[in-house]
Amino acid sequence: MITILRNLRFSEDKLESDKLINPTLTPSSISKKLMTLNGMPISKELLPDLYNVMTHCCEKFGIGINNIQGYVYPSSEIQAQCVQFVLSEYVLAISSGMVNLLNNNELKFVVGHEIGHALLNHNNLKFDDNNDHEKYRLSRAGEISADRLGFICCDEDNYAFSALMKICSGLDDDYLNYDINSFINLAKNLKEPTNVNYFELTHPPMVIRARAILWLSMSNLSNNYQNESEKNNKDKAELDRRVNRDLTKYIDNQIFTDLNVLVNDFKFWLFTITFVSDGLLSESEQLILKSNFSEELALKLKVYLSGLSKNEVTQDIWIKLNKSYVNLKNVSKSIATKELNGTIKLLEKHSDSNSLNDLKMRIQINDR
């Protein structure tokens, strides 16, 4: 199993080595009870087809069927999850909506995907009120790994694609015209990225996921994932490079463009609040703003400041600075901290370090 996970875990899926790992997050026996009470157990007698799907996936991963308790719960939502409780004890829960939508072959993809999440420790990634860009990036990378584990559970490649089409559209055989090739062509010939806000995307878009599966199906790794070899390492590196290129081009680049705007905004207000702390913006300070940002921005600021009193100015800029800091922090806490420290350092040339330290502490006062 370790070899399979090592061969198929996407290189950007770094949760295991990340500090987000927290052993105390192991779900409690109460949540296990809740999960198992509200559904129909997947047993040989009650749900033989699903039981066979589960057995098939367990065999693929080399884990015993007795380590997994499966349940189908009533819900029209198309959902599934697999949670690890103690070492080698898993609970798999699938919504009836999902079971009704997919055939048994497609369910192998879903069950493999969900068990894959648990085997790869993705349960340790928790979303709360404080999610930054890195967390979403990790989540998207985790989906790529889980899709690969789902893929190896499929008897035929096409079932992975039709499962993906159904899950993402919610449409069943009656509505979807199963021309897998045209779907694959859509994935092959992906158009230029569109301008979408991708900050809070836990899953990569369907076509990107389909492309990642396509790269795997074309790689030698799809037949040799059980073995450890130099060749496999090479194939995996090439596969990961392709997927990473897609994720960068279609999702992360977009985010980084937007991130740059936020960083600049924050830096600008940090410079400004330092300069106007004495109530006026001197000629030399204006020059510094021009060279660090833009002539236009410096001019706009001058016009804006001319109509306000000293108190109004500091209050107003303070609000703008805080807003820009919160915006940046929402995308990435680590980048916000880095930019704060770096800009304060830059400003030491223009202001005394005591008041800069005070300013830094005031900005960070609400940090958690």
- Measure Cα distances from 17 to 21, 86, 127, 228, 350 in Å: 8, 20, 18, 21, 41
Q: What's the rounded Cα separation, in Å, for the pair 199 and 351?
A: 35
Minimum distance of Zn ion from residue 205's CB (angstroms): 14
Q: How many residues appear in the chain?
A: 368
Contact 72, 95 (CB under 8 A): yes
Question: In a 10 Å sphere around its CB, with 0-12 CB exposed, 13-18 middle and 19+ buried, how is residue 318 labelled?
Answer: middle
Place of tokens 């694959």: 184
- Measure Cα distances from 362 to 214, 225, 318, 356, 359 in Å: 50, 53, 10, 10, 5
The smaller minimum CB distance to Zn ion, of residues 205 and 259, is found at: 205
A 10 A CB-CB count for 24 gives 4
Helix (H) or strand (E) holding 121: none
Minimum distance of Zn ion from residue 143's CB (angstroms): 5
The smaller minimum CB distance to Zn ion, of residues 69 and 139, is found at: 139
Minimum distance of Zn ion from residue 338's CB (angstroms): 30
Minimum distance of Zn ion from residue 277's CB (angstroms): 50
The smaller minimum CB distance to Zn ion, of residues 243 and 298, is found at: 243
Sheet of 90-95, strands arranged across: 40-41, 68-73, 90-95, 80-84
Give the β-pairing of 68-73 and 90-95.
parallel
The smaller minimum CB distance to Zn ion, of residues 5 and 146, is found at: 146
Q: Which residue is nearest to Zn ion (CB)?
A: 146
Minimum distance of Zn ion from residue 92's CB (angstroms): 13
The smaller minimum CB distance to Zn ion, of residues 203 and 290, is found at: 203
Place of tokens 């915006």: 327
Minimum distance of Zn ion from residue 259's CB (angstroms): 25
Residues near Zn ion (CB under 5 A)? 143, 146
The smaller minimum CB distance to Zn ion, of residues 115 and 262, is found at: 115
Please tell me what DSSP assigns to residue 197.
Answer: -
Minimum distance of Zn ion from residue 122's CB (angstroms): 8
The smaller minimum CB distance to Zn ion, of residues 203 and 320, is found at: 203
Q: What's the rounded Cα separation, in Å, for the pair 7 and 237?
A: 10
Minimum distance of Zn ion from residue 115's CB (angstroms): 11
The smaller minimum CB distance to Zn ion, of residues 143 and 339, is found at: 143
